[in-house]
Structure 1
Amino acid sequence: MRRITDDTGIFQHTKFGVPDRSKGYTTDDNARALIAAVLLYKKDQDTVSLDLIHTYLSFIHHAQNEQGNFRNFMDYSRSFLEDNGSEDCQGRTLWALGFALSYSSILPDNLLNTCRYLINQALPHIEKLGSPRAVAYAVVGLSYLIKTPGALTYSFPYPHTPSTAEEKAFLSKDFITGLIERIAVRLHNQYNRTKGDGWNWYEDSLTYGNSMLPWALLRAFKLSGNAALKHTAKESLDFLASRTFAREGYYKPIGSHGWLLRGGEPALYDEQPIEACEMLLTCREAASVLQDPSYLQQADLCYAWYTGHNSLNLPLIDPQSGACYDGIHSSGLNLNQGSESIISFSIAHLVTHHG
Structure 2
Amino acid sequence: MKNSGLNLPDDTYIFRITDCTGMFQHAVFSVPDPSEGYTTDDNARALIMAEMLYQDSGDKKYLELAYCYLRFLLYAENDGWFRNFMDYSRNFLEKRGSPDCFGRCIWALGFTITCQEMPEPMRSAAECLLRRTLPSCKGLAFLRSKAYAAIGLSHWDHAEAQDEARHLVSDIADAYQKNRSKDWYWYENNLSYCNAVLPGAMLVAYDMTKENKYLEIAVESLDFLLKSTFRGNIFHPIGCNGWLFKGKEAAEYDQQPVEACGTLLTCLKAFQVTGKQVYLDRAQGCLNWYTGQNSLGESMIDPESGGCLDGIRQVGQNPNEGAESIVSWMVAALAFRRVS
Q: Given the alignment of the two structures, is residue 322 of structure 1 paired with residue 306 of structure 2, yes or no?
A: yes
Any residues of structure 2 matched to 1:282-293 within 5 Å, and which?
282-293=266-277
When normalised by structure 2's length, the TM-score is 0.94
Q: What residue number does 1:108 align with?
A: 119
Residue identity matched to 1:214:
P
The CA deviation string for residues 308-328 of structure 1, in whole angstroms up to 9 with x for no partner, is 011111010111122110011
Provide the rounded CA distance (Å) in 1 between the counterparts of 2:30 and 2:125: 31
Q: What residue number does 2:54 align with?
A: 41
Q: Given the alignment of the two structures, is residue 30 of structure 1 paired with residue 14 of structure 2, yes or no?
A: no
Any residues of structure 2 matched to 1:97-136 within 5 Å, and which?
97-104=109-116, 106-136=117-147
- Please state how far the C-alpha of 1:16 moved relative to its aligned partner: 0.7
Q: What residue number does 2:94 align with?
A: 82
The CA deviation string for residues 181-238 of structure 1, in whole angstroms up to 9 with x for no partner, is 1110110001111111311111111000100000001001101111111111111111
Provide the rounded CA distance (Å) in 1 between the counterparts of 2:150 and 2:65: 25
Provide the rounded CA distance (Å) in 2 between the counterparts of 1:321 and 1:174: 45
Provide the rounded CA distance (Å) in 2 between the counterparts of 1:78 and 1:320: 30
Identity of aligned residues (%): 45
Q: Which runs of 4+ in 1 moved over 4 A?
A: none
The CA deviation string for residues 5-33 of structure 1, in whole angstroms up to 9 with x for no partner, is 01100000000111111110000000010
Contact 2:114 2:123 in 1 (8 A): no
> Which of residues 318, 324, 334 in structure 2 aligns to 1:334?
318
The CA deviation string for residues 215-263 of structure 1, in whole angstroms up to 9 with x for no partner, is 001001101111111111111111101100113x211100011111111
Query: What secondary structure, in the 3-state scheme, does the structure 1 residue paired with 2:234 have?
Result: coil
Residue identity matched to 2:34:
R
Residue identity matched to 2:43:
N
Q: What residue number does 2:264 align with?
A: 280
- Kindly tell me: are residues 96 and 178 of structure 1, through their superposed partners in 2, closer, same or farther at Cα, counting changes over 3 Å? same
Query: What secondary structure, in the 3-state scheme, does the structure 2 residue paired with 1:145 have?
Result: coil
- Kindly tell me: are residues 3 and 354 of structure 1, through their superposed partners in 2, closer, same or farther at Cα, counting changes over 3 Å? farther
Q: What residue number does 2:4 align with?
A: none
> Which of residues 165, 170, 178 in structure 1 aligns to 2:163?
178
Q: What residue number does 2:241 align with?
A: 257
Report the number of matched residues. Answer: 326
Q: What residue number does 1:20 align with?
A: 33
Unaligned runs of 5+ in 2: 1-13
Provide the rounded CA distance (Å) in 1 between the counterparts of 2:197 and 2:170: 15
Q: Given the alignment of the two structures, is residue 57 of structure 1 paired with residue 59 of structure 2, yes or no?
A: no
Provide the rounded CA distance (Å) in 2 between the counterparts of 1:128 and 1:26: 22
> Which of residues 183, 186, 200 in structure 2 aligns to 1:198?
183
Provide the rounded CA distance (Å) in 2 between the counterparts of 1:93 and 1:139: 11
Residue identity matched to 1:229:
Y
Provide the rounded CA distance (Å) in 2 between the counterparts of 1:193 and 1:94: 27
The CA deviation string for residues 100-139 of structure 1, in whole angstroms up to 9 with x for no partner, is 22212x1111110110001111100112101100000011
Provide the rounded CA distance (Å) in 2 between the counterparts of 1:280 and 1:232: 18
When normalised by structure 1's length, the TM-score is 0.90
Query: What secondary structure, in the 3-state scheme, does the structure 2 residue paired with 1:328 have?
Result: strand
Residue identity matched to 2:166:
E
